Amino acid sequence: MDRPIKWKNGARCAVVISFDVDGESPWILRDPALAERPLHMGMGAYGPKTGMPRILRILDRYDLKCGFFIPGWIVERYPDMAREVLKRGHEIGHHGYCLEQDRQAPRAALQRLGASSGELPPGSSNRAPGDDTLRPHRQR
């Protein structure tokens, strides 16, 4: 290498950390009737209600920033969670509205995300549901 990369605090590499906060959306996508089943909805709610506060505390403890890929439906259902993610300096990436297989990152879903979270991402990553690749998305 002509010019070695210099990482913060002399680190020898960089690591990307991201989380998918799908909540109840996998069950809703599979069968909308499951929305009426408390067991399924309770299992899905664990991530946004219990897991996210724990994850955010750990990230704060180690002064780490990361990306959270959250379906728009979950952002609407848990707007305080989404606002807390942004307040702590993390990024929210587009992850569909309710995990549908839409790879286009529609403008309407991003606008819903902004309306619910209090901040429209000016440039965000898109992670299509069921896909582990990151694709840059810029709103025009």
CB 53 within 8 A of CB 22: no
pLDDT in tens, 50-87: 999 999 999 999 999 999 988 888 888 899 999 999 99
- The CATH class given to the 18-138 domain equals alpha beta
Quote the CA–CA distance of 22 and 42 in Å, as a whole number. Answer: 13
Q: Tell me the domain boundaries of the chain.
A: 18-138
Pairing between strand 123-126 and 135-138?
antiparallel
pLDDT in tens, 111-140: 666 666 666 655 555 555 555 444 444 443
Quote the CA–CA distance of 32 and 42 in Å, as a whole number. Answer: 15
Torsion angle (degrees, nearest 10) of CA 7, 10, 14, 15: -140
Q: What predicted TM-score, i.e. pTM, was given to this entire model?
A: 0.71
User: Which residues face 30 on adjacent strands?
Assistant: none
pLDDT in tens, 2-35: 787 888 888 888 888 999 999 888 888 788 888 7
Task: Please enumerate in sequence order all residues whose Cβ is within 8 A of that of 137, keeping only pairs 6 or more positions apart, or say none.
Answer: 94, 105, 110, 123, 124, 125, 126
Dig out the tokens for 88 from the structure. 């702590």
Quote the CA–CA distance of 13 and 121 in Å, as a whole number. Answer: 27
